[in-house]
Structure 1
Amino acid sequence: MLRDRHGRGLRGPLMPSVLPARKTSRQYFDELAMAVVTRIEHQVSASLNTEVSSLRHIEFAVADIPPEVTPFDADIVEDAGVPLARLFPAQPGTVAAAPRIVLYRRPIEMRSASLAEKELLIQSVLAEQLSGLLGISPDEMD
């Protein structure tokens, strides 16, 4: 309930949470990650002369923090021992039939001071994961 304290006017949020203009940091990160994925798809299809559908079978996901991992997992991109992303390979015959790349939002946000840095970090992490999955060098992905 909003009320007028000490004659300074009604207090409350400037933008109610039900309006689409108010987004959380998670929603901003998801939009940025999807924009980077779309850009990488177009770059890969243009450089390899293939269709964009070659990356459509890969699932992309975002998690807030990484789960506990063993130190010998090879499909993890780390920075100072903290996972930034992980590749889950395809497992035919199961629910996870497509390969999945999971970005970890909080570690990536903690390592980037600006939106441009965050975008570059997401791009480099995805390029490294996709290069291992597709058998392409990370330089070709960038």
Structure 2
Amino acid sequence: MSSSDLSPAGGDRHVETAPAPEARRRRDRRGRGIRGPLLPPGSPGYRTRAERFDDLVLDALARVERSWPAVGGTELAVEDVPPSDPAPWESGGVLLGRLFPAESGQPARIVVYRRPVESRSLDGEDLAVLVHDVVVEQVAHLLARTPEEIDPGFGRR
């Protein structure tokens, strides 16, 4: 039985049918079309804040590695927040970064904590400078030197 068989007096009245289930799933509930990203994947605005922060940390370490090649084997990590149980020698204030020295065949690891660093910066430029300073501080601890020896411009920006 077709939809024309159901019409009164056998007229050519068209009966609308519901869209197929797969078509309904691709549209939002108000029928405005398929939702997608606002920005194309290649544009700078497409990247998340965390991804941009990761790039800043990698750039900072690359700048330090040019002057101090001994840092080359160091692992780098970014975590959102520091753990709630700081080490005994880490007293006062919120940690912005931490150094885990090399031990039992594992390379040294520098960890930068994203949220505390972001909350202390005013804008994107200030964030880049602060990330660089945190990485320089941790490299200085790793190499048992002062941050000014690692980067003569440390803390002056």
* TM-score (ref. length: structure 2): 0.67
Aligned to 2:73, the other structure's residue is in SS state coil
Equivalent position to 2:94, from 57, 82, 100: 82
Residue among 97, 110, 118 paired with 1:101:
110
Gaps in structure 2 of 5+ consecutive residues = 1-25, 152-157
Match of 2:51, as an amino acid?
Q
1:93-117 deviation line (CA, Å, top 9, x unaligned): 4xxx111010000110111121111
Deviation per CA, 1:48-97, whole angstroms, max 9, x where unpaired? xxxx3x111111110111111236234xxx8x62111111111114xxx1
Question: Greater Rg, structure 1 or structure 2?
Answer: 2
Aligned-residue sequence identity (percent) comes to: 36
3-state secondary structure, aligned to 1:83: coil
Amino acid at match of 1:35: D
Match status 1:27 vs 2:51? yes
Say what the alpha-carbon RMSD is for the aligned residues.
2.5
Aligned residues of 1:127 and 1:141 also touching (Cα < 8 A): yes
User: Given residue 115 of structure 2, which amino acid in structure 1 is its aligned partner?
Assistant: R
* Higher normalized helix content (fraction of residues): 2
> Which residue matches 1:48?
none
- Do the aligned residues in 2 keep the contact of 1:88 with 1:100 (CA within 8 Å)? yes
Match 1:38 to one of 62, 66, 72: 62
Give the aligned residue type for 2:117.
I
The CA deviation at 1:2 is 4.4
Q: 1:118 corresponds to which residue?
A: 127
Q: Which portions of structure 1, spanning 4 or more consecutive aligned residues, are displaced by more than 3 angstroms?
A: 1-6, 9-13
More strand by share: 1
Higher relative CO (Cα under 8 Å, sequence separation at least 6) belongs to 1
Letter in 1 for 2:64: I
Q: Is the 8 A contact 1:4 1:11 kept in 2?
A: no
Gaps of 5+ in 1: 46-51
Partner amino acid for 2:75? E
Specify the SS of the correspondent of 1:123: helix
- How much has 1:20 moved relative to structure 2? 4.2
